[in-house]
Structure 1
Amino acid sequence: MKRAQIKSRPLKDTVLNSLEPEEKEYRELDGNGLYFRVKPNGNKSWQLRFKNAEGKWAWRGLGPYPTINGAAAREKAFEMQKALSNGEMLYTQEELKIQALESNNALFSQLMSDWLNSKEPNWDADTFKKEKQSIEKHLIPVFGEREYLKITSQEWFEFFQTMQRELQIYNRIEKLTSYCRNAYDLAKFQGKINFNPLDGINKFLDKGESDNMKHVSIEDLPLLINTIRTYPSRTVAIGLELLALLFPRPQELRYATWDQFDFDKKIWIRPSSIMKRGIAHAIPLSNQAIVLLKELETFKTPSNLLFPGRGSLIEPISDNTFNQALNRLGYKGKQHPHGFRHIASTALNNKYSDKEQVVESTLAHLKKGVKGVYDKGAHYEERVGMMQWWADEIDRMTNTP
C-alpha cells in the first residue's frame, strides 16, 4: 500500500507488511519517537529518534522488520526512552560502530603492525628493519591514529601524489603504496573490510622515470659487468661501466664534458643545464671511476665531450648507443642504460637503510630548495663514502683485483 493510505497509528502489522518502497527512502511515525523506515530496495527497519547529550536530534536503529515486529520495536523504544529519562547515555549506530572499531584495534597503526607481523618471517632482518622504519617515518605520523576504514581513496591518492611531487622518491612511494594495499588486503581476507581504498591507485599516480626501465637483479649484475668489459668498442664499454659505477641518467653521461671533472678533488660537477631538476649536482668519484675516466681520456678527441658523436665536436653519441651495445651483448629487454640507477638504488637503500634521503640525493632526487652541489641539503660528504662503497662492492661481486 501507499503511505498516503495510512489512516491510524501505531502502525498495524498489515500496514507494516504492505507498505511499498518509493524512489527515495522514507520514515513513517509509529508513535512516541519510534519510526518505521522503508528503503527504495524494499528493506524495512525501525529507528528511534531521540536527543543526544548535546541536545541535538539523533537516530538509533532498533533492528530490521519483520525480524523485529511492531510490538517488539515499541517495547525496545520504551526501554530506551526510560533509560534516557533516568540520565543514561544512548548512542547512535555510528557511535556504537566507532566504539566497536576502537575496541577491535581498528586504527591504521594496528593495521600496519598486523601486516608487518605477517611479513617478518619471510623477510631478512635488515629488510624488515628498513621497511618498518620507512612505514613509521612516512605513514604512521599522518594516518596512525586514524581508523583505517575512514581513510578514503581520495585521501590516499592526494597523500602519495603530494609526496611524489615534493620529494621525487618514486621507488619508495611505489613500495609504500604496495605495503598499504597489501595491509588492507590482509584485513579484507580476515573479514574486517569489504573494500580496499588503494585498489588501482598506481594507475593514476605519477610515473617515476625508472618504472619501465629494464634491469637485471643484483645477483646477475657481476655477469653483466664482466660481459660489458668484453665489448669490442672500448669507449662504449667504459661508458657502460661508468653508468653502473656512477649511475647518472644516460643523457647526463652522454653530454658530460671533460671540464666538469676534477680528478684531484675526485668530483664530477654536472651543471644545472643538463639536470632533470635544473639543479647543479656533484658526483663524488670513486677510485675505480677515476681509473676508467683516465683510460677514456687516452681516447680523447679535440672535442670537449667524453663521448663525442662520429665526425662531430659538439654533438654526443646517439641516445641509443649504449642501449644498442647492451642489446648486442645479449641483454635486449633485460637491461636498459637507465636501469643501472635502479640497481644502485636498491643496493644503496639496503646498505644504508637509515639514510634514505642521502641515497635519494645520491640519485639526484633533490628536494626543492637545495641550492647547489655543496649545499648541506645535497649530503655531499656522506655521499663520498657511499660512492666508494658501491664501487668496492662491484669489485667484490665481479672478483676484480
Structure 2
Amino acid sequence: MALTDTAARTAKPREKLYRMADAAGLCLEVTPSGSKLWRFRYRFGGKAKMMGLGAYPTITLAKARERREDARRLLANDIDPTAHKQAEKTAQSALAHTFEELAREWYAYNSPRWATSTAAKALQYMEADILPVIGQRPVQEVTRPELVALVRKVEKRGALNVAGKIRQWLSQIFRYGLAKGSVESNPATDLDVVAAIAPRTKNHPHVPLSEIPILLGKLDAAKCDVMTRIAVRLLLLTGVRPGELRHAPWSEIDLESATWTIPAARMKARRPHVVPLPHQAVASLLELKEITGSYPIAFPGRNNRERPQSENTVNKALHQIGYEGRQTGHGFRHLLSTELNSRGYNRDWIERQLAHGDQDEIRDTYNHAHYLEQRRQMMQAWADSIDALCAGLNVVSIKRKA
C-alpha cells in the first residue's frame, strides 16, 4: 500500500529503527531519535543497495518520489544512482574550489623544497600578478585565453622574466590539480608558444675596475646608509649574489675562521657554498655587527628587522650616485669574473667562487668542496688590489699559474 503524507507526518519513533514502505523501492526510515529519512532500495550489478534521498519533512513525499524516479531512470540506463550522486557531488565540490585555494596548497607543498629567495619571489609574484586576476575563479572554469591575457599583462610592463616564471608556475599549479583530481585538464600548457619575444640578453652592467675607487668614494660622499655601503663592499669583495647577501643570517658567518657557509637551501645551485672572507670583508662585517649583531639577519630591513633588506636597496643607492645603467649589485660578479680571468687564475677556482655549476654533473659533484684555500688566497689578493687601487697605487695584473 502506498505511503501517505499523513502516515509519514504522524509516524512515531520506536526503540529500534524501522521503515515504512511506499512503492518501487522508496521507504521512510524512522530512527529512535525521531529523525525521518527517505531511502531508495534497489539492486545494481547483482547486489542490493540503498541510497539516501533526503530528510522528511524538508523533502516531502512528492519530492522523494521524484528523486526515486530520477534514480530509476539512471538504473534503466545501467547507471548506479549512488555512484552518479557521488560523482556529481565531487564535480560540484571541484567547481566551488577556487584557483587561489589550489595555488596556495601547491605553494605550501613545494616551497619547503625551494631556496628561501625563490619561495619569497614565487609568493610575491603569485600575490601581485596571479591571484588578483583569477584567484577567486572556480578552478575548473579557468580558461586558456584568461591565462594568456594574464601573462600578456605582465609582459606589457616589460617584466619578461617574471612572465616566464608565471607561465611555469601556472602550469605546475594545474598539474598539481590534475594529480589531486581537482581539475580535468591543464589550460596552462603551451603558453610559451604565444610568449612575447625577449630582447637580446644583456649582462648585468658594471664599470671597469679602474672606476671602482670613484664609485666607492661617491658612495661614501653621498652619506648613504652604512648598511648599504657595507653591502656594496661585500658584494665587491666576495662575488656572492645580492640575494645570498641580503638573506644571510649571522649564524652562517664565522668571523674567527673568516668563512661564510651558505647552506644548499639558499643557493641557486642547491648545494652548500663556502665563501672565504678576505681581511677587508671581515673588517666590514665586524663594523656591521656593531649595528645589526642583535638581529638574526645581518642585513635586516629598515621597517621590519625580522625581514631582510629590500632587494632594490643596493641598486637604488648606485642609481642615486649616478650609476644607473652602468653598475648593479649583480654586476660586481661580472667584474670579479672578468678581472680574475684576466689575471690568469684557474678557471675552476673562479667558477667555484661564483658558485656556478659545472655542466659535467659528475665532475661538478666531485669538485664541489675543492679549492677553498686556493680561493682564499685569490680573494685576498683581489681585495688587496682594490685597496691598493683606492690608495692611488699603480697595480699591475700578474699572471698566476693554474
Q: Normalised by the shorter chain, which TM-score bucket?
A: 0.3 to 0.5
- Per the normalisation by structure 2, the TM-score is 0.45
- Per the normalisation by structure 1, the TM-score is 0.45
